[in-house]
Every structure is written in C-alpha cells, then in structure tokens.
Structure 1
Amino acid sequence: MVSERIVVKIGSSSLTSDEGGLNRERIAFFASELAALHNKGANVILVTSGAVAAGFRQIGYTARPKALHEKQAAAAVGQALLMQAYQEALSGYGIVAAQILLTRSDFSNRKRIQNALMTIEELLRLRTIPIINENDTVSTDELKFGDNDHLSSLVAAMTKAEQLVIITDMDGLYTEDPRKNPEAIKIERVDQISEDIMSVAGGSGSSVGTGGMRSKIEAARIAMRGGVHAFIGSVQQPGDLQLALSGNGKGTYFDTKLDSLPMKKQWLGFHSMPKGRIIVDKGAEDALLSGGKSLLPAGVRGIEGDFHPGDVVEVVSLEGAPVGRGVVNYTAWQAQAAAGLGSEEVSRRIDVNRIEVIHRDEWVSLR
C-alpha cells in the first residue's frame, strides 16, 4: 500500500444522526480507519459530505432545510463544525487535516482545476489528509454533486487514484432492495456498467443524505472511465476500510482495464460544459469508439444548439445515447450545412479551417 493513492468518500448519513448534528463517535471511527491507511504509507484523500446536516440544528432549523439559501446558511455553520471535528479526531494520530472547497464551476475552468490539483499534490507531499467538500455556501445549482458521489469520482480521476471507496449504509449493490426482499442477490463485481446494472439502483435511503445508489453507480462509471477502480460498500467495523482495499470488503467492486486519462481528456469528458449536440450515424459512432478516427462531416446526421469553433460539444448516436465529447471546428450552421457530405464537397462549399468536425486529438469517448 506504500504510496498508493486512495480517495474515500463519506456521506452525510454516515456522519450524522437522522435528526441532524454530527455523530462524534462515527467521525472518530472514520478518523482511525483513515489514519491506519495513512500510517501504512498510503496517500489518502477524503471527500466528505455533512456540512448542511451538521449545521442546520445549530443555526435553529428544526429539520433539514430545502430552500437553497437555507442550505447555504446551514452549510456556513456546519462546514466549520465538520472540519473542527475532523481536525480534532485526526490530530490524535499526528495527522494534519487540510480543507479544500470546490464547486462544479471550478471543474469546468481548466486553470482553476489545475490549481486545485497542484494544491492537493502539495498537501499529499507534506503528508496531510486533504478533506474535500462542495462549497455549499456559494453553490447555485441546488448542491448538485449528489451527496458528493459525483465529486468524489471527479477527484479520483483528477488525482489518478488507484482506488475510489464510496462508503454507504448498504454492503454493496443487490439485484433488488434487500431491505424489502430478503432473497435479493448481492452483486460482487462489475466490469461494465450496463442498463441492467443501472436499473437495480434505487433511491436515497436517508432523509439526511441526498445521494442514492444510482448516483454512486454513476460515480463508479466516471471513476472507471478515468482508470480508477471503485468500491461501493459498508465500513462499519475496525479494519473494514483496509478490507475494502484488499479486495475482501463488504461491498461491490467496480473493475476497469482502462488507463487514467490525461487532464485535458478529463476536462473534455467530465468537466466541460457542452454548447450543443451533434447526432452521428452508426458508421461514425463505430469510427469514433473503436477506430480511433476523427468525426468527418459525412457521419453527421443532425445538430442541436448554437456553437462555434473551439466550443465543446456532445456527440450522440441516432438513438440519443452519449458517444463522447470533443472540441468542434465548425459553427453550428456550418456543421448543419456540411452534414452528410463528403470531405471534398465540404471543401468546395464551406470555408472551414479543418475538414474534421472534431479531430481525434480533441475527442474523448464516454463509453
């Protein structure tokens, strides 16, 4: 485990009571689990939820708030309480905790996310544990990381972690909800997230947290695409976190054979904000996914949105399924005019700098 990089995500329901407020015993337990990894030489990054849940009682709300401004106010109080609890718990093991607050817009800005990565790398070099949370006090889109499941997968891919551990109150993924059907079968390992896998994911199991099993599987999908192995399961007893990393954990493993993506490809695939969509035929879809080819005008079948050269666009199949994203070389009207035409015909009719609608060097597959 020496120098292995591990991202651990802990949700609100694992840190707080159902009524709200921090559960200090649980935080002390997780601190001991993280410290055990840290002291074995692992580079540990913690992605934590819990700011809103920690703060809403303190600020005077009787139940978890639903309005955005109320959540932001609760988070402003709760984030300080959350970090204080982690600092105190980890200091007993001689470990310094460092706070990093991120928003979705940080990831969509290439310079800002590169700066965040540099900070994380320096904190790991100094043998601290970076503790990352969404900056709930300024987030404007309803705290949309989904109990930080999505955030944890982006952090794992960005830092090129070997493993992402998403801790939940369930001991893995089942064919049905085992709380309702005792004959439900546990799924031990997943190497491809199909629609069947997604269909067995239910909703949220707690009034304190916001992320259900579906958001955790979506997070595992992003991690796998970024070359990171993922684990979704329970860490309740001493040693459970190390068991999860050794392959004997109480949960489901999501394996990948893909290599980690360069930051540019990560930004394209996970962080950028597409300005439009390009619909392609089956031939172009296969060429992009399997042939390592660029997208040529002949394979384009439709255009949605208004975009310009240099913008990021999403590419979808004729059925609407995501294929990938790329930096487009055409305006929307040029792409519409060139759709279905051969390259020579496009060169005669339309003044474009490059014949490729999307060059393969500016492309990332999302399958």
Structure 2
Amino acid sequence: MPECMVVKIGSSSLTSDEGGLTRERIAFFAGELAALHKAGHPLLLVTSGAVAAGFKKIGYTTRPKLVHEKQAAAAVGQALLMQCYQEAFSSYGIGVAQILLTRADFSNRRRMQNALMTIEELLRLRAIPIINENDTVATDELKFGDNDNLSALVANMVKAHRLVIITDIDGLYTGDPRHNPDAVRIERVDQISENIMKLAGGAGSSVGTGGMRSKIEAARMAMRGGVHTFIGRVQEPGDLQLAVSNQGKGTYFDTNLHSLPMKKQWLGFHSMPQGKITIDEGAQDALLVRGKSLLPAGIRQTEGDFHPGDVVVVVNDAGETLGRGVVNYEAWQVQAVAGLSTDEVRRRVEVNRIEVIHRDEWISLHS
C-alpha cells in the first residue's frame, strides 16, 4: 500500500452544541479532504458524530447518558452521518465507504487482517474509507473518548505516514489558552513524557467525549507504531494542506521509530490482555535495556487467570506499564515459581519453555 494518511474528525467539529449535523462543516471538511485526494494522497477518515447526529432526530432533548440510549441514537445518527458524507464527497466525484469497527475486530488477528484487506482494496479503487466505532454493539467503545484511540489503531494498522487529529484547539499549550493568556503553544513534541500528559485538560465540548488527554494518548500510540501525528485546528480553506505540510495550526508529534510488524502491532495495541505480571528492577532492566526474555526469577506477583498463549501486561513495582507479552505459563505456575532460579523452576513445574515471556513475543510500551 502506498503511504497513506488518516484524518480524524470529532463530534464538536461536525455538530452543533444542541445536537444534529452541521452540513456546512461536513461540506467544508469534504472539500479539504478532496483536495488532498486529488493530489494523490490515499486517505482514511475516522469520524465521530453518530450519537450527536442522531439523538435529537430520535426524540431525545439532550445527549443521552445511558448506554442503550446512546446505542439507539448512534443507530439513527450513523445513517445520517454517512448520507451527509456521501453527498458532500459526490460533488467531487469521490466515492466513500462505511467501515464500522469494534475493539474485538482489532483483538482478533484474522478479523483485523480482513479489515486491512478491505481498506487496501478501497484505497486501490480511490475510494475514501470512512471509519467509525460500531457504537450500537460495542458498549465499552463508548468510553474510549471521541474515537481518538480508534484513529491511532487504524493509523498503525495501515502503517500510515501521518495521523491528523482535528480538534477545536490549535494544538497543545503550556496552559489552557481559553483561560490563561500567558499559555504558549508547543510546536513540536518528540517524546510524550508525564509532563506533557499533565498539560492536557478535560473535554472541551458538551457534544464530544474526548479531551486533549485522549488525543495525546492517541498520539503516543501512533508514535510507537512509527506514525507522525498532528493535533490541531482545521478551520479555514487550505488548513488541512498546511497540516500535512508541517505548517499547520497545531502541535506535531514526531517519531524516529519505524512502523511495527503486524505481529508486534497486534501484541502492543490490539490484543486483549488476560492478566498482569509485576516484575522487579532487574527484570525490568533485562526487558527494556538488555533485550532479554522474562524469567521467573524476576517476577514479584501475578493477577488474572491466564494460560499459555495468552497476552499479559507487565508492570513494575510502581505499577507502571512496561509492555505486553505472550506468556508460556499457566497463571498458577507463574505464581508458584515467582522469584525462583531456573534450576528450581525445572524441579517444581513442567513447562515447554523456561522463559515466562520470550523476547520475540514481547513489546515494550514504556516511554
């Protein structure tokens, strides 16, 4: 697949504060995307807005809060959203296609591969895949926050060159520019530290559910997959072109990492961990610095009921996530041999491999 871009647009950019789609804004974004499409860029659009588009149409006076009400609003709003996009892009002679995804689609490697093959074929045919979470069936997905997480997962899956997250604020600031006149925009970030995360505030709109923090978390996920990310405002004609040309009204999150192989990507971002293993400082150094496997001697404790072949999260004594790996032991076996030497482990349990997690089945997620 040639280098492509993923553009994510949130609810607040597409709908009014009272609910319902703003067709003028959808037409504007369609024009911005069409210009890039005409220039030869393969594009994917990750869109929010189904719940916001549908809740008034179905009869709710305010945005619903209960899960089944959100699902009903999304079922109505998704059709309205796609109709607006189809009409807007058709004026440029561009075909669009709807793809609804859930977390389960990413956690299952075969389903993820099928989704990728569909996307690749749509891009080959010069259509624009329009991707949204399947809110009518995926109850947990309504908690992710404005599809930011989804856009990063999609960008990693297609090995995108850039992820553009459009928001109503022109990037990350040293404070909230709406309340602090001394706040300064941060132009570029090459590593997302805890200090960067602390700069992110809460949600800025009553219509959307994602704040700047969820966008920065999405940028961190994309960066780990080798995807450069832009978070900022696209409000006037030509702004999207500026954003992809490194002159946009926002913050750029750069990375020197390379795109991950599909196996590592699935392990790090898409798999569903079945348990947790806490390790000591020596094991942390072995995994993160020396590129070694995880042995029983470095394990403190375990949580969850996992089995060989399951994915587990590995944390340190402070509870910080270090990474994920495919475990070779039953949960009870790990607990039984935690802290023991290799010779002692062999005397106590029967396992196919002495490594609890082999380095080839491990991915670091530590900043």
Q: Which residue identity is paired with 1:338?
A: V
Q: Which residue identity is paired with 2:244?
A: L
Alignment partner, residue 257 of structure 2: 258
Alignment partner, residue 186 of structure 1: 185
CA distance in 1, matches of 2:102, 2:338: 37
How far 1:304 moved relative to its partner?
1.4
Alignment partner, residue 75 of structure 1: 74
Alignment partner, residue 64 of structure 1: 63
Alignment partner, residue 273 of structure 1: 272
Q: Is this contact kept in 2: 1:149–1:211, CA < 8 A?
A: yes
Residues 181-233 of structure 1: CA distance to partner in whole angstroms, max 9, x if unpaired? 01011111111111101111100010100000000000001000111000000
Alignment partner, residue 244 of structure 1: 243
SS in structure 1 opposite 2:122? helix
| Structure 1: runs of 5+ lacking an equivalent | none
CA distance in 2, matches of 1:141, 1:219: 17
Alignment partner, residue 46 of structure 2: 47
Alignment partner, residue 108 of structure 1: 107
How far 1:105 moved relative to its partner?
1.4
Q: Is this contact kept in 1: 2:273–2:311, CA < 8 A?
A: yes
Q: Which residue identity is paired with 1:185?
A: V
Query: What are the within-5 Å matches in structure 2 for residues 73-152 of structure 1?
Result: 73-141=72-140, 143-152=142-151
Q: Which residue identity is paired with 1:164?
A: L
Q: Is this contact kept in 1: 2:103–2:141, CA < 8 A?
A: no
TM-score (structure 1 length as normaliser): 0.98
Alignment partner, residue 316 of structure 1: 315
Q: Which residue identity is paired with 2:288?
A: L
Q: Which residue identity is paired with 2:217?
A: E
How far 1:290 moved relative to its partner?
2.1
Q: Which residue identity is paired with 2:329?
A: Y
Q: Which residue identity is paired with 1:240?
A: D
Q: Is this contact kept in 1: 2:4–2:43, CA < 8 A?
A: yes
Q: Is this contact kept in 2: 1:3–1:41, CA < 8 A?
A: no
SS in structure 1 opposite 2:130? strand
CA distance in 2, matches of 1:244, 1:21: 27
Q: Is this contact kept in 1: 2:166–2:232, CA < 8 A?
A: yes
Alignment partner, residue 156 of structure 2: 157
Q: Which residue identity is paired with 2:263?
A: K
Alignment partner, residue 9 of structure 1: 8
Q: Which residue identity is paired with 2:231?
A: I
**1:197 is aligned to 2:196:** yes
| Structure 2: runs of 5+ lacking an equivalent | none
Q: Which residue identity is paired with 2:50?
A: A
Alignment partner, residue 30 of structure 1: 29
How far 1:142 moved relative to its partner?
5.8
Q: Is this contact kept in 1: 2:9–2:166, CA < 8 A?
A: yes
CA distance in 2, matches of 1:57, 1:131: 23
What RMSD, in angstroms, separates the aligned Cα atoms of the two structures? Answer: 1.1
Alignment partner, residue 327 of structure 2: 328
Q: Which residue identity is paired with 1:47?
A: V
* Runs ≥4 residues deviating over 6 A: none
SS in structure 2 opposite 1:99? strand
How far 1:272 moved relative to its partner?
1.3
Residues 129-181 of structure 1: CA distance to partner in whole angstroms, max 9, x if unpaired? 00000011112226123110000000000000000000000000011101010
How far 1:344 moved relative to its partner?
2.0
CA distance in 2, matches of 1:241, 1:286: 42
Q: Is this contact kept in 2: 1:4–1:41, CA < 8 A?
A: no
How far 1:77 moved relative to its partner?
1.0
Q: Is this contact kept in 2: 1:134–1:145, CA < 8 A?
A: no
CA distance in 2, matches of 1:150, 1:356: 32
